[in-house]
Amino acid sequence: MSKKENEVDSGSSPVDYAAIVASWSPEERSEREKKFVRKIDWRLLPILIIVYIMNYIDRNAVPHARVQGLEKDLNMSGYQYSIVLSVTFVGYISMQVPSNMILTKVRPSWYLSGCMAAWGIVSGLSGAVHNFTGLAVNRFFLGVTEAPFFVGCAFLFSGWYTRKELGLRLGIFYSAAMISGAFGGLFAAGIAAAFANNRLESWRWLFIIEGIATVVFAAITAFVIPDWPSTTKWLSPEERALGIMRIIEDAGEEEEEISTGAAFKLTVKDYRVWLCVIGQTCLQAVASLTNFLPTLVQNFGYSTVHTLLLTSPPYLATVLFCLFNTWYSDRTSKRSPHIMYPSMVAAAGIIITIATTNTGARYFALFLMLPGTYGCFQVSNAWMANIAARPQKKRAIALAVNNSIGNLALVWTPYLYPSSAGPRYIVAWLVNLAMTAIIVVSTLILTICLRRCNKQMDNLTDDATLEQAGVDGKDHSTHIEERSDTDHAGGRQSRSRATWKYQI
């Protein structure tokens, strides 16, 4: 938040939000904060979860359409199918960083809703393509229009929730992707059964129905999604003050106004950001198996409808683990164990898949691989929000970089699963196993680096010492956190200082 947001015009006179919050007793502050967080949870999470379910279903409709005959009807080869998946993420990656830079200047409610309407239109038009070229062009623009949503929501969350609250909320939000994976398969199975004998192929109906639903819902979200604490109209002055001051206090200081270009330079020069990005990229590489999950299950010898139904249970298991992992990570304020240990579980699933052709064992391995990878994503994003806490523009760019660079893995991983490599896909699984090893190693290195920075900041007193700790003096992700406690007996305020530290 900027200094201007700490003192904002309300009618004819400015409102001093810091003074409002400072006037409360610790007990009153705590009670108000609990009510505020519950209110934001109910106003922010449900609508964005629904939208993200639709976002993920639209983006992942192609694997479901494939088992319904899309590849055959469009005379596509397995290699061309991989290209279709790749170009989606080329578009997706290209817009994430620019989009979050735009989002620092516009209203999130209107911007995100507009993007939703755009991707709904593009998704519906997927049902009108007649060849490989048409589908590839269509999916590229789907990636472009869908790109702003996830990173934009992650940035929006970081403007409402503190560090100890962010991981779980991102986990709840991201569980929508897994829910969509589960119910997307059920929905696709229903469409396949309902339109099996229709003149228009069932996979075309899949795209058309999903696209129409998305556009209709976009019109609603524009009036429901909140913007920032300083501009949201349905907050009372006291709630607005609390919302603003919570984030200022959590970051340790008020926001310094810097240019977007300067924030971009701060981001790309921070080695901690890139260590986090390495882990995220490898997570995405392993998670790319979901683009071929219906095909992998179909190779077990099941019919189209049964294949689509059997893709759901691993996603449901992933939802439960994702919620637990992010909740426990927030509760302990630890990030690295909640990335390394699940990655080891995913590695165990990969080893099982390589070692056996038994259908039951390979299906069980999916219950290790999906939770072990998807359960880590939002811990990684919460960690990045902590590593690049300030300035706000740096946090926005860092979150976008983490996801856009991470998604580069989704450009090349489709080529690991050519039809000719089935049903075992040994090369793909060996690459995935190597990725899990890199996740563990990069996370361990980042942990060591952050622990060293924390030790150097223990006796931090000035910017000179800050620079010795390997931190740019303008990088507000490290600072001294100051909190005011009111002594009501003497009517005085005492200030206690506690050193802000990186979460590890």
Poorest-pLDDT segment among 5-14, 118-127, 197-206, 353-362:
5-14
pLDDT of residue 113: 95
Domain that holds residue 232: 18-457
Check residue 503 and give left, alpha or beta (phi > 0: left; psi -120 to 50: alpha): beta
Look-up of token digits 């340790």? 252
Q: How many CB atoms lie within 10 A of CB 323?
A: 18
Any idea which residue has 């109906």 for tokens? 205
Q: What angle do CA 39, 43, 49 make, to 5 degrees?
A: 130
Residue 469 above 70 pLDDT?
no
Per DSSP, 382 falls in state: H
Residue 480 lies in a domain: no
pLDDT value for 297: 85
% pLDDT > 90, the chain: 45
At residue 394, the pLDDT reads 87
| Residue 151 confidence (pLDDT) above 60 | yes
pLDDT on residue 6: 47
Place of tokens 């998807």: 374
Q: What is the CATH number of the domain that holds 90?
A: 1.20.1250.20
Task: Give the pLDDT of residue 460.
Answer: 64
Residue 464 has pLDDT above 60, yes or no: no
Question: Which residues have C-beta within 8 Å of that of residue 23, sequence separation ≥ 6?
Answer: 486
Question: What are 212-240's pLDDT values in tens digits?
Answer: 999 999 999 989 999 999 889 899 999 99
Q: Given this model, what pLDDT does residue 256 score?
A: 62
- Taking only the tens place, the pLDDT of each residue in 74-102 is 999 888 988 998 999 899 888 998 998 89
Chain-centroid distance of CA 481 in Å reads 27
Report if residue 494 sits inside a domain: no
What's the rounded Cα separation, in Å, for the pair 162 and 149? 21
Q: What is the mean pLDDT of the chain?
A: 84
Please state the separation of Cα 262 from the chain's center in Å. Answer: 24
- Whether 88 maps to a domain, the answer reads yes
Task: Judge whether 100 and 151 are in contact, CB under 8 Å.
Answer: yes
The answer to the question of residue 471 being in a domain is no
Task: Indicate the pLDDT class of residue 196, thresholds 50, 70 and 90.
Answer: confident
The answer to whether the bond into 423 is cis (omega within 30° of 0) is: yes
Question: Which has more confidence, 437 or 199?
Answer: 437
Rounded to an integer, what distance in angstroms lies between the CA atom of residue 55 and that of residue 125? 15
In a domain, 429, yes or no: yes
> 448: how many CB neighbours lie within 10 A of its CB?
13
203 within some domain: yes
Residue 465 lies in a domain: no
Give the separation between CA 470 and CA 449, rounded to whole angstroms. 10
Burial class of 200 by CB neighbour count within 10 A (0 to 12, 13 to 18, 19+): exposed
pLDDT of 208 reads: 94
Alpha helices for 60-131 (secondary structure H): 61-67, 70-73, 78-103, 108-125
Q: What is the pLDDT of residue 4?
A: 45
pLDDT of residue 496: 33
Across the range 96-118, mean pLDDT stands at: 92
Number of domains the chain contains: 1
pLDDT at 476: 43
Going by pLDDT thresholds of 50, 70 and 90, the confidence category of residue 198 is confident
pLDDT at 473 over 70: no
- Predicted confidence band at 178 (pLDDT cuts at 50, 70, 90)? confident
Q: Name the pLDDT band for 327 (thresholds 50, 70, 90).
A: very high
Cis before 108? omega within 30: no
Written as six digits, the tokens of 283 are 């997570």
* Residues 471, 467: Cα–Cα separation, whole Å: 5
- The CB-side HSE value for 430 (13 A sphere, CA atoms) comes to 5
Residue 254 belongs to a domain: yes
Instruction: Return d(Cα 341, Cα 393) in angstroms, integer.
Output: 32
Taking every pair of Cα atoms in the chain, the longest distance, rounded to a whole number of angstroms, is 82
Sign, Cα dihedral of 395, 155, 170, 61 = negative
pLDDT class of 209 with cuts at 50, 70, 90: very high
Each residue of 361-401: pLDDT tens digit? 999 999 999 999 988 988 998 899 888 877 778 888 898 89
